[in-house]
Amino acid sequence: MTQPLGRSSVPAGSLIGAAAPDRTGIVHLGLGNFHRAHGAVYTAQAMAAAGGDWGIRGFAHSSDRVVAPMRAQDNVYSILQLTEGGTRAGVVDVHRGTGVAAQDPEAVVAAIADPAHRIVSLTVSEVGYTRDPATGRLALDRPDVAADLAGGATPRTAMGMIARGLERRAASGEPLAVVSCDNLQSNGDVTRAVVEEFLGEAGAGDDVLSFVSSSVSFPNGMVDRIVPKTTDEHSRRVADLLGVTDRCPVPAEDFSMWVLEDDFVGGRPAWDLAGVTFSTEIEAYEMVKLRLLNGSHSLIAYLGILCGAPTIDAAWGQDFVREAVLGGIAHDYLPTFTPPTGFDCDAYVSELDARWRNPLIGHATTQVGSDGSVKLLQRIPDAALFHLRQGRMPHHLALCTAAWLACVAPPSGFAPDPLSERIAEPARERLAATVDGAVTVHDHVRRVMAGGFFPEALAERDDFTARVAELLTTITRDGVRAAAADVAASR
């Protein structure tokens, strides 16, 4: 029998970084696995290096799946580092108070307004920014956004909670940084734009708008660590390694990277002493990460799902997937950006191969493939338009779009692998309504492109629509390998 993990039963020598003091300096929205293996770990290590009142008050959005077990064990949990050279476990103890935003939105608004808090960090997923896919602006027609704009004190969306919290904080005038740790291009700028738009639409006064513009910063950043979902096997491994029962461990790879703009107006932990890179070249780092890793990840996931591969390493083990992804990196992604000064893209890509191959990670293709209607916006349109405007077809990006549609909005008569039913896709019903009655695969794709799922500039490109339709036809008629072979032959 192992004893339950708690603050009094942290195994000797297992603490990662330092335990936080009781005072909290950070509010985190989106208390899920990624934050617990990334921002929380850097914060524990920064406090070990330089101290500080940087305890974290964490809120999950709507479910108590993580919060309930964390509370039962004093908000302490373990990280299980899954490396082929030997799995290790360590304990993180930096959360001082956890809650569920949907159950108590007022607590979130009050925490953001509290002058003791100097940073709000976010891992609310791409969906949490409540943006219109075609315009990138706040989605005013979404019922939850409209309700938050009308509803005042008890917002339901993350952006509404931040806006209402800042509105209240304006009275104290205390500076605050809102740092997005989600996979969005210019994630800080996007957050500022959406929050300011919310405040404008909600009729916030000039005093509030001027406080947000002068005393709230939204640093941009690039985050990178592969963190899959937790399974019972992870808890068993922790029990073996640490001799305690952890009901909510976080599995993660060894690799971890965080690059930030140093714009924390209320101060910050000594993250620089914990391995965070502070840089003025964030956009370039974001391009590297969002295109080479995340864009390729989506392609691996959808090709994998269509051939019945449940995990990223299983998909990556298929020659046709590897060839399509490496071709996509070389032909469709690398030419679209200039890497940060001195950054070795070849080394990053080699490392990606090792990371995707790691059989211990067990990253579900359906997890990576979820929310494609929102995630692909970061991964396809800008890179595709870069090539289309130069008269070149980005075949791999068209393949990724076709494979996504084959999984979540298949043309009539085509049944994708049953794995595809496990993809969480918020636009599934809207996609189904859009393609209902389509007479050909080309008509099917044309309706999606014209249906507000992609920015207008890409939707207007009939050549891209036609190429996606060709590849979707091949997937439905001859299979996904044939579509990948067509792409390999076309470049």
Give whole-number Cα distances, 259 to 255, 328, 385, in Å.
Answer: 14, 25, 27
- CB pairs under 8 A, 24+ apart, for 279-285? 279/340, 281/340, 281/341, 282/220, 282/221, 282/222, 283/185, 283/186, 283/220, 284/337, 284/338, 284/339, 284/340, 284/343, 285/222, 285/259, 285/340, 285/343
Query: How far apart are alpha carbons 23 and 20 in whole angstroms?
Result: 8
Residue 481: contacted member of ligand 44H, ligand NAD, none (CB under 5 to 8 Å, by partner type) = none
**Binding status of residue 368 toward ligand 44H by CB under 6 A:** yes
Give whole-number Cα distances, 6 to 63, 281, 320, in Å.
Answer: 22, 41, 47
**Side chain identity at residue 356, one-letter code:** W
Query: How far apart are alpha carbons 264 and 224 in whole angstroms?
Result: 20
Q: State the nearest-atom distance from the C-beta of 380 to ligand NAD, in Å.
A: 16
Nearer to ligand 44H, 89 or 364 (CB): 364
* Residue span 207-246 as binding mask against ligand 44H, x where in contact by CB under 6 A, dash where not: -----------------xxx--------------------
Phi then psi for residue 223, to 5 deg, are -120, 145
* Residue span 116-135 as binding mask against ligand 44H, x where in contact by CB under 6 A, dash where not: ----------x---------
Q: How many CA atoms lie within 13 A of 383 on its CB side?
A: 33
Site for ligand 44H in 277-306 (CB under 6 A): 293-294, 297
Residue 297: contacted member of ligand NAD, ligand 44H, none (CB under 5 to 8 Å, by partner type) = ligand 44H
Site for ligand NAD in 62-81 (CB under 6 A): 62
Nearer to ligand NAD, 118 or 379 (CB): 379
Q: State the nearest-atom distance from the C-beta of 225 to ligand 44H, in Å.
A: 5
Query: How far apart are alpha carbons 252 and 38 in whole angstroms?
Result: 9
Q: State the nearest-atom distance from the C-beta of 158 to ligand NAD, in Å.
A: 4
Phi then psi for residue 370, to 5 deg, are -70, 155
Site for ligand 44H in 370-389 (CB under 6 A): 375
Residue 293: contacted member of ligand NAD, ligand 44H, none (CB under 5 to 8 Å, by partner type) = ligand 44H
**Binding status of residue 409 toward ligand NAD by CB under 6 A:** no
Kindly state the number of chain residues that form the binding site for ligand NAD, as judged by CB under 6 A.
22
Question: What 8-state DSSP symbol labels residue 145?
Answer: H
**Binding status of residue 33 toward ligand NAD by CB under 6 A:** yes
Query: How far apart are alpha carbons 59 and 30 in whole angstroms?
Result: 6
Q: State the nearest-atom distance from the C-beta of 127 to ligand NAD, in Å.
A: 4
Assess contact for 67 and 99: CB atoms under 8 A: yes
**Binding status of residue 158 toward ligand NAD by CB under 6 A:** yes
**Binding status of residue 124 toward ligand NAD by CB under 6 A:** yes
Query: How far apart are alpha carbons 315 and 309 in whole angstroms?
Result: 5
Which secondary structure element, helix H or strand E, spans residue 164, and what is its range? helix 158-169
Residue 71: contacted member of ligand 44H, ligand NAD, none (CB under 5 to 8 Å, by partner type) = none
Query: How far apart are alpha carbons 248 and 71 in whole angstroms?
Result: 10
Phi then psi for residue 487, to 5 deg, are -65, -45
Of 24-32, 104-112, 322-330, 483-491, the window that binds ligand NAD (rule: CB under 6 A) is: 24-32
Binder of ligand NAD out of 57, 61, 379, 396 (CB under 6 A): 61
Site for ligand 44H in 37-96 (CB under 6 A): none
Binder of ligand 44H out of 78, 81, 98, 183 (CB under 6 A): 183
Nearer to ligand 44H, 78 or 183 (CB): 183
Binder of ligand NAD out of 17, 25, 32, 69 (CB under 6 A): 32
Question: What 8-state DSSP symbol labels residue 100?
Answer: E
**Binding status of residue 182 toward ligand NAD by CB under 6 A:** yes
Binding region for ligand NAD (CB under 6 A):
30-35, 60-62, 123-128, 158, 182-183, 223, 225-227
Binding region for ligand 44H (CB under 6 A):
126, 183, 224-226, 293-294, 297, 368, 375
